[in-house]
Chains A and B, each alone.
Chain A
Amino acid sequence: MKSLKFLLFSALVILLFLIPVFVDNLYWISVFTKWWIYILLTVSFWLIMSTGQVNLAHAGFAAIGGYISGALVQSYGWNSWAALPVGVLTAGLIALVLGYITLRITGIYFIIMSVALAGFIQTIFGIWDHPFGGLVGLQSLPHPDAFLGINLSSRPALYYLILICMLLVVILVYRIYYSSMGRIFRGINSSDRLAEHVGIDIMKYKVMVFVIGCLCAGLGGVLFTYYTSTIVPTSFTLTQSTYYIVYCAVGGLLVFPGPIIGTLVLCYISELIKAYAEYQNIIFSVLLIAAMLLFKGGLYGLYQRFINWISHVTKRNETPVKSI
């Protein structure tokens, strides 16, 4: 029932907006802000992945957004609300150009290409001292300028800004994934031979989704600079992109709530074990391999199976349906 879904979603959104009202611990507000950025990045990564292209340079596009907007603000004194769209659009433009050239390569070769691209972007940003700060990167970036008179320098204010951006991206990804073109991709997934048979529209759609995904990544990069006030070449490496894959895989690769659930769960676990941070990646790797090989479909898949099992168990009093 669509209206029920909508109600649930609205209730969730209201809850998220109320968090700073009830939680006055600034540390936790900041942690949630960080989670929203990661969800934004993971969900946009997942969108591109749903068309069959695993873009391991996703973090690199975030770096482009962050660096361009940060450089404009710091080295050229721009207002951050002018710098933000420029940063995001630069990421999108580069994605457009690269997309047309590279998206005809598919499968494992695209993955290798994106690995190379990620390394390339990371090294490039370390070369020039001006305006990108070279190896030092950009430090002491200011808070975003006031928006329509609302001061944005406090942590709760930043929380709301980033929450709104994250929700917009999530809704956008949802709409694209469940659109008619999205349906085709949900059907063929990563089988590109089948894609060839369906028609050349696939290429245009792939590029469009790639550009949208990278625009969102650029936005995530800009928001990141608001959050940490710094950006260095090692902020957005290939390893960052692999985190996005891991979040998607643990949450559920092929379903919409998957990346969101995966990000939240793994980020939360990371918070819990922060006193033993060095063991974090070992735990994640075990979860990851278990998610891929044991409980397929990730956490969302587990949830679905659980629901089905309960439904099945509580249907005992109904006439059993003969299995076909």
Chain B
Amino acid sequence: MTIGEIIQPFINGLLIGLNYILVALGLTVIFSIMSVLNFAHGEIYMIGAFLVYYLAGEYHVNYVLALLIAIVATGILGLILERFLFRPAKGDILTGVIVATGLIWFFQTGAQIIFGSQPSRIYPVVVGTWHIIDAVIAKDRVAAGAISLAFLAIVYYFIYRTKQGKAMQAVAQDREAAALQGIDINRISPLGFVIGCALAGAAGGIILPILYADPYMGSTVLSTSLSIIILGGVGSIPGAALGGLILGLVNSYGAQFAGYISSIFPFVIIIVVLLFKRTGLMGRKI
């Protein structure tokens, strides 16, 4: 086993893990603020990827511009979803699950009809590789990792350093106490949803040049995100970050050493964590 065989999957795993963190973060933000698990989160990711594909692939819009447009569009979509679909659900778990199922079907079938069932690719934005010792790292993965990191930094700054962000933390910790403090829940909930969906859309758009966009990509992403937030602890942002990196490494090394069976690991993680330590690695008490 050469150094390259160990380093290469490690670096790739971390880079892809950054992308996972973006999606999982979106999911956990929505959950901690609205107490609703948006099962359609994977579909928002898919919409982000397809929007960038549509703009950059079909109309040859500049990739970065397309990405920004996709983020804004998914953010607005989040606003609409929160106001008309999830707010009337009033935090009831079952209603939330059912509404999300409806959304999944709606978006998946819509994408299928508009874009066809098979994966769509665009020409990569950055071409080439770097060599580190005897490991080969693709430049576009590093670029994607860097962009993901930039977005994570922005979100971190927003949540921990701004007034609105702190208000969001307050709502996540204790909804009633936050209301008593004068925080307007009806402003914070949509904000959480917008951020959550924008993160998912960004992740989809970022990963597009590396992989592809297809109508069914949402379900795998959802399983991975669920695995991450359970592992890291639902509602915990550092947990999502840690979980994302771990899942990235698990998928990277897992496929290499266990091959086809590795697709089962995210499910096993969920089952094991929920049975033994429900709060996950860094979660709060439920």
Q: Is the interface of A mostly helix, strand, loop or mixed?
A: helix
Closest chain-B Cβ to A64's Cβ sits at a distance in Å of: 16
Min CB–CB distance A117 → chain B (angstroms) = 7
Which residues from B are CB-within-8-Å of A21?
Answer: none
Query: Closest residue to A111 on the B side, CB-wise?
Result: B97
Which residues in chain A, 117-142, are within 8 Å of chain B measured between CB atoms? 117, 119-120, 123-124, 127
Chain B interface residue count: which class?
A: 35 or more
Bound complex: CA A292 to CA B95 (Å): 7
Q: Are A111 and B267 in contact (CB under 8 A)?
A: no
Cβ of A301 to closest chain B Cβ, rounded Å: 14
Contact (Cβ within 8 A) B275 A101: yes
Asked if residues B270 and A113 are in contact (CB atoms below 8 Å), the reply is yes
A109 within 8 A of B: yes
Cβ-neighbour of B112 out of A105, A115, A278, A293 (below 8 A) = A278
Q: How many angstroms from the CA of A99 to the CA of B275 in the assembled complex?
A: 12
A253 CB within 8 Å of chain B:
yes
Decide if B226 touches A115 in the complex (CB within 8 Å).
yes
Chain B, residues 224-246, CB within 8 Å of chain A (1/0): the string is: 00110010000000000000000
The answer to whether A116 and B89 have CB atoms under 8 Å apart is no
Question: Taking beta carbons and an 8 Å cutoff, which residues of B are in contact with A?
Answer: 37, 85, 88-89, 92-95, 97-99, 101-106, 108-110, 112-113, 219, 223, 226-227, 230, 261, 263-264, 266-268, 270-271, 274-275, 278, 286
Task: List residues of A whose CB falls within 8 A of some B CB.
Answer: 49, 54, 101-102, 105, 107-109, 111-113, 115-117, 119-120, 123-124, 127, 190, 238, 242, 245-246, 249, 253, 278-282, 284-286, 288-289, 292-293
**Can you report 28 A-B residue pairs in the complex whose CB atoms are below 8 A from each other?**
A49-B94, A102-B274, A102-B275, A105-B278, A108-B37, A109-B274, A109-B286, A112-B226, A112-B270, A116-B270, A117-B267, A120-B267, A120-B268, A123-B263, A127-B261, A253-B94, A278-B112, A278-B113, A279-B109, A281-B109, A285-B101, A285-B104, A285-B105, A288-B105, A289-B102, A292-B99, A293-B85, A293-B89
